[in-house]
């Protein structure tokens, strides 16, 4: 008969396997295989010991049949699922009944009790699991006492000790597994909350972008139309020719706004950049459109790009120019404004200058929502657009000395 201590060490190995089986959902299926292999080795070694020592006995066919039946029943474990269903309880009772019959015929099969501890702990709730382990342990002790034929302290104490170790290790590993699953659940929940937050921030950013797009295009056009129509109304009787000119200009702006609105529906790209137009052409078109009786807008292009500007850079600079000219027209009282686009090696710079009455930048902060007025954007929108592309915005102005707004956008490095 093998020593209880050696069998106890094997039992501890089986406990590790059971934890692997308990965490199969987390990718530890190989531990389940290890547990089954260990059980079959214990069953096979007990059967071999019986056949060697009891060759030719009438009990041999029964022992072999029960051993094969026990092996088949034990290997049905994965087919029954992991939940403690009624079918699984019936299966467990059948396995234990076959094992107890084997132990009664051949006490050396008592060492197969260690893997049975694992399936009992996995299947039964704590009160029933404790009773199950006590029954299996008592059966194993009785079998070994019958095998030794005398009262042996090791035989009496070893199986309960192994059972206690098995229970302690299983409980500890189960707690760690539960704690790990809780951490994973927390991580998944946190990731979902983060994703939801990012979606909300993305929605807010998109709303802000759309509001700036509308401000720099449709709202400016409608404002220009309003001013022109009001001007035509004032001179309708005294200067019909001028009034008709204002109306025609307002009509042209309305047509452009209609194109902008359709472009919003399509892809939100500026209408002046449609049909293959580049930024230089778009700025010249903008300067011509914004020029009128009260304001003359000049456009100057300095240099040429070494490679085509990204669409987002072109769109952003055009929107900045539109927003800046809207501020010039409505707030500066200027008669002349200039758009200057300068291409440098590593950046492109747009300057918008005017000869208006200017303002003090130290008292009117571009990001101060209190200074935006009913239109709501203006300089804050320009600054936001510039920063979104990693650029810098500089505003130089003094009272009665005009204003210069400069937006510098870095260009991606070109490879040769």
Which pLDDT belongs to residue 271? 66
Return the pLDDT at 265.
57
Supply the pLDDT for residue 56.
60
What pLDDT score was predicted for residue 138?
82
In 3D space, the residue among 327, 333, 320, 328 whose CA is nearest the CA of residue 283 turns out to be: 320
Query: For residues 281 and 314, is the Cβ–Cβ distance under 8 A?
Result: no
pLDDT at 404: 93
pTM to 2 decimal places: 0.42
Give residue 367's pLDDT.
43
Q: By C-alpha distance, which of 46, 17, 18, 26 is closest to 119?
A: 18
Q: CB atoms < 10 A from the CB of 212, how many?
A: 22
**pLDDT of 297:** 93
Q: Residue 159 has what pLDDT?
A: 73
Q: What's the confidence (pLDDT) of residue 401?
A: 87
pLDDT score, position 198: 79
3-state DSSP call for residue 394? strand
pLDDT at residue 416, as a whole number? 43
Q: φ, ψ for residue 342 (rounded to 5)?
A: -120, 125
Give pLDDT < 70 ranges for the chain.
1-29, 31, 55-57, 82, 147-155, 206, 262-271, 274-276, 362-377, 413-416
Predicted confidence at residue 78, as pLDDT, reads: 79
pLDDT in tens, 48-77: 888 888 766 678 888 888 889 988 888 888
pLDDT value of position 22: 39
């Amino acid at each position: 008969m093998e020593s209880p201590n050696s069998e106890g060490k094997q039992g501890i190995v089986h406990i590790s396997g059971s934890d692997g089986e308990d965490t199969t959902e987390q990718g530890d299926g190989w531990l389940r295989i290890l547990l089954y292999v260990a059980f079959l080795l214990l069953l096979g070694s007990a059967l071999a010991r019986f056949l060697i020592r009891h060759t030719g006995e009438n009990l041999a066919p029964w022992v072999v049949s029960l051993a094969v039946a026990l092996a088949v029943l034990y290997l049905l474990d994965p087919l029954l699922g992991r939940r403690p269903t009624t079918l699984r309880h019936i299966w467990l009772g059948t396995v234990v009944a076959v094992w107890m019959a084997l132990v009664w015929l051949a006490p050396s099969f008592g060492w197969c009790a260690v893997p049975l501890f694992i399936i009992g702990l996995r299947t039964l709730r704590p009160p029933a699991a404790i009773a199950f382990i006590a029954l299996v342990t008592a059966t194993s002790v009785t079998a070994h006492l019958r095998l030794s034929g005398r009262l042996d302290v090791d035989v009496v104490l070893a199986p309960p000790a192994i059972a206690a170790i098995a229970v302690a290790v299983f409980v500890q590993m189960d707690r760690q597994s539960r704690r790990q699953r809780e951490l994973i659940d927390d991580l998944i929940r946190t990731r979902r909350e983060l994703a939801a937050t990012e979606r909300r921030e993305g929605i807010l950013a998109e709303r802000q972008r759309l509001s700036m797009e509308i401000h720099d295009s449709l709202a400016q056009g409608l404002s220009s139309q309003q001013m022109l129509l009001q001007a035509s109304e004032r001179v309708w009787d005294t200067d019909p020719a001028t009034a008709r000119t204002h109306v025609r200009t307002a009509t042209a702006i309305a047509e452009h706004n209609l194109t902008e609105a359709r472009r919003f529906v399509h892809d939100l790209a500026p209408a002046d950049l449609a049909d293959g137009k580049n930024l230089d052409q778009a700025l010249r078109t903008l300067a011509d459109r914004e020029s009128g009786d009260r304001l003359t807008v000049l456009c100057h292009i300095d240099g040429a790009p070494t490679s085509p500007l990204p669409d987002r850079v072109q769109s952003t600079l055009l929107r900045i120019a539109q927003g800046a000219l809207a501020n010039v027209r409505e707030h500066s009282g200027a008669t002349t404004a200039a758009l200057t686009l300068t291409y440098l090696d590593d950046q492109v710079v747009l300057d918008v200058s005017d000869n208006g009455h200017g303002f003090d930048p130290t008292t009117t902060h571009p990001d101060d929502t209190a200074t935006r007025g009913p239109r709501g954007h203006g300089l804050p929108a320009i600054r936001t657009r510039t920063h979104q592309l990693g650029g810098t915005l500089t505003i130089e102005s003094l009272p009665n000395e005009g204003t210069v707004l400069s937006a510098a956008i870095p260009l991606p490095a070109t490879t040769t």
